[in-house]
Amino acid sequence: MDRLDRMQLFTRVVERGSFSAAANDLALGRSTATEAIKALEADLGVRLLERTTRHVRTTPDGAAFYRRCIAILAEVEEAESAFKTGNPEGLLRIEAHPYLTRTFLLPALPDFLKRYPGLRIQFGQGDRYADLVREGVDCAIRAGELDDSTLIARRLGHLDEVTCASPDYVEQYGRPETPDDLDGHIAVGFISSRTGDVMPLELIEGGKTRFISLPCRVTANDSGTAIALARLGFGLVQAPRYHFAEDLKAGRMVEILADFPPPPTPLTALYPQNRQTAPRLRVFLDWVGGIFAGGMV
């Protein structure tokens, strides 16, 4: 293992907080990774990592060395890409909601991978907010307002939102015509992964967003479960329109308060600062940006 390989391994150990995870990412044996880091520390004459049974973290010298490694490795990758005649190569780890992935990314993926045959993509999916740096994720596509200033954000567009309910629910509770008619209605509660609270309904009325909290008989912290509960008639739900496009067309769901739509949800690509010069990430961002084209979907 040469010096650059050791630096790459060291940065991955720091980001993953684990020798085993870093070794797995780089297709190395656990013992090989451990010995390589020991050799790196011996060459430098400093201790880079503090190891416990549950976690690995940097020493002050290790934190400083990590920052230098990130800059050096980024320069090396940038220099190599400038002279290579081939396409970007390597593994891209992408976090995105499963519905969004299946609806927008997968249909366009064959052409993307045909254009860049050296790329491999690993999709991680769910409603949780992954720690991109610690989990070694290259890019996350997230819906909603963001508050993580440590990541670089690239706005992709907006998701059109809809309020809807099942026909059975409408038959039982009626169809409200204005937000004031929501008294006596119930909602499927969706628990925010950011706050841990049930999110209120949001409706645009008179050019302003009105927040309305309804009683909930059932709640969920997974959007797929919340959507399934709404289809079964457990209450009103708000979600990106693409989730219900086929249901609305077929009459399996009914749009509610169409004259008072929810505000659109921003869609953003997020990535760690140390990933921004990687050619494989640049071509992915250009591709996914073209899919959403900065508009409403």
Q: Please give the model's pTM, rounded to 2 decimal places.
A: 0.70
- Clarify whether residues 145 and 222 are in a common domain: no
- Print burial letters for 267-290: b (CB count within 10 Å at least 16), e (below 16): bbbbbbebbeebbbbebbbebbee
Listed residues 65, 83, 101: the one ending a domain: 83
Give tens-digit pLDDT for 95-143.
998 889 999 999 999 999 999 998 889 888 765 566 676 666 789 998 8
Number of independent structural domains in the chain? 3
- Clarify whether residues 199 and 52 are in a common domain: no
Distance CA 290, CA 284 (A): 10
Give tens-digit pLDDT for 189-237.
999 877 889 999 999 999 999 999 999 999 998 888 999 999 999 999 9
Token pair in block for residue 257? 């308060």
Give tens-digit pLDDT for 54-85.
778 899 999 889 888 877 887 777 677 656 65
- Clarify whether residues 39 and 121 are in a common domain: no
pLDDT at 87 over 80: no
> What CATH number corresponds to the domain at position 186?
3.40.190.10
Q: Which domain holds residue 144?
A: 90-159+266-292
When pLDDT is averaged across residues 143-155 and rounded to a whole number, the result is: 79
> What CATH number corresponds to the domain at position 18?
1.10.10.10
DSSP character at residue 133: T
pLDDT at 33 over 70: yes
CA–chain centroid gap for 86, Å, is 29
